Amino acid sequence: MRKLIISLCMGAMAATSVGCSYGAMASHNGKLYVAKNDGLLFGALRAMYECSPDGSGNMACVKVADKP
C-alpha cells in the first residue's frame, strides 16, 4: 500500500512538472514580437510581448494588452 501511494505521488509530481508550452517569434519594423502560449488550462495563460532591441544587446519588452 505504501509503495502504491508513493508511486501515485511521484506520478502526480511528474505530470505537473511537464508543461505543454510553445512560443513563436516574429520581427516587424525593427521590433520583435514574442508569443508565449501555454497548453496548460487550455491556453488560458497566453501572453504576447513587444521587444525593442537597443545597440548594446539589451532588450526592452512590454506586454501587449490586446491578445492576438
Three-state DSSP at 5 gives: helix
CA–CA gap between residue 51 and residue 63 (Å, rounded): 9
pLDDT tens, N- to C-terminus, the chain (68 residues): 888 888 887 777 666 555 555 678 888 888 888 888 776 666 667 788 888 888 787 888 888 887 55
* pTM of the predicted structure, to 2 decimals: 0.55
Q: Tell me what pLDDT residue 32 has.
A: 85
Residues 6+ apart with CB under 8 A from 53: 30, 32, 59
* β-pairing verdict for 21-28 and 59-63: unpaired
49 by Cβ neighbours in 10 Å (0-12 / 13-18 / 19+) ranks as middle
Q: How far apart are CA 50 and CA 43, in angstroms?
A: 19
pLDDT of residue 45: 72
Question: Would you state the pLDDT for residue 18?
Answer: 55
